[in-house]
Amino acid sequence: MRHLMNPLDFTTEELEQLFDLADDIQAHPDKYAHKCEGKKLATCFYEPSTRTRLSFESAMLNLGGHVIGFSDANSSSAAKGESVSDTIRMISCYADICAMRHPKEGAPMVAATKSSIPVINAGDGGHQHPTQTLTDLLTIRSLKGRLNNFTVGLCGDLKFGRTAHSLVNALVRYDNISFIFISPEELKIPSYLRDKLKELNIPFKEVIRLEDSLPELDLLYMTRVQRERFFNEEDYVRLKDFYILNKEKMKLAPEDMLVLHPLPRVNEISVEVDEDPRAVYFKQVQYGVYVRMALILTLLELA
């Protein structure tokens, strides 16, 4: 039995298979409409979510399965002090697969060690968000036709943004990738990622100004400043509007650059950019359903 905690839990070959399956699901949805009949997905969300939870639920329903779960820790026994280890033992009796989001780094991993059903990390604190990364990679592969040879700019809260951490982790396995990390001093990428890039000899720069980097980028990954992970509101207010991508700045970017964002967006991308054909963040949402369908089938060994 396999779990998904980190995008690196799948080899690049396995990821290719998963993305091929997602492509086939997109092309022939009817073929997959009954694959999960009689199966249940539990969504255990101890932290707020719109896209991740609903895309998992939509994915399972598209496969003909059922969904149970909770979307607020206060409405579960966690409010009474139950540990994730105990909760997952119980969920294992109710469902066939579980997607778990938790504010504590490593909580889904702890759950996986006690689980008799596959557990998917749907975001653990400021650590990882592997299914968003699968979504990002499928979007890039579908729209660019490849996952190598890119200069990738990641912009915003690179300290707390788990989607950025997971994406960097996953992209280092492809050829000829270089990174430009665009963040204020206080929100730089964690040192463990910087060390990993150095160890692997992957070129990267850390800069503050977005405008200077835009002309060099093939992909721009914008992120929200993660208010809930700040220790004080004052720092958040000071940093929240540090970057605002607008039409004017988009003029500096190459014609074929893609703008991705895991969403939710706050102010970091002005709504006027939504009409730009390079803005693909709403397309990402749709790819997120196909890739989660492919993931559920793969983990349930129904692919």
Separation of alpha carbons 219 and 83, rounded Å: 40
Give yes or no for residue 92 binding ligand NCD (CB under 6 A): no
Return phi, psi of residue 176, to 5°.
Answer: 55, 50
Please report whether residue 132 would count as binding ligand NCD according to CB under 6 A.
yes
Restricted to residues 14-53, the positions that interact with ligand NCD (CB under 6 A) are 51-52
* Catalytic, out of 101, 159, 162, 224: 101
**In whole angstroms, how close is the CB of 42 to ligand NCD at the nearest point?**
18
Q: Is 129 a catalytic residue?
A: yes
Helix axes 12-27, 130-144, angle to 10 degrees: 70
User: Could you say which residues in the range 256-295 bind ligand NCD, by CB under 6 A?
Assistant: 262-264
Contact 152, 144 (CB under 8 A): no
Among 40, 127, 165, 224, binds ligand NCD (CB under 6 A): 224
The candidate with the shortest Cα–Cα distance to 152, out of 134, 172, 138, is 172
Q: Is 163 among the residues that bind ligand NCD (CB under 6 A)?
A: yes
Helix (H) or strand (E) run with residue 90 in it = helix 84-94
Residue 156 beta carbon to ligand NCD: minimum distance, rounded to whole angstroms: 9
Does residue 264 have a cis bond before it (omega within 30 degrees)?
Answer: yes
Residue 238: active-site member: no
How many residues contact ligand NCD, by CB under 6 A? 11
Measured from the CB atom, the residue of 35 and 170 that comes closer to ligand NCD is 170
Structure tokens, 227: 């208010």
Count CA atoms within 13 Å of residue 86 on its CB side: 7
Active-site residues: which are they? 51-52, 80, 101, 129
Q: Which chain residues interact with ligand NCD by CB under 6 A?
A: 51-52, 123, 129, 132, 162-163, 224, 262-264
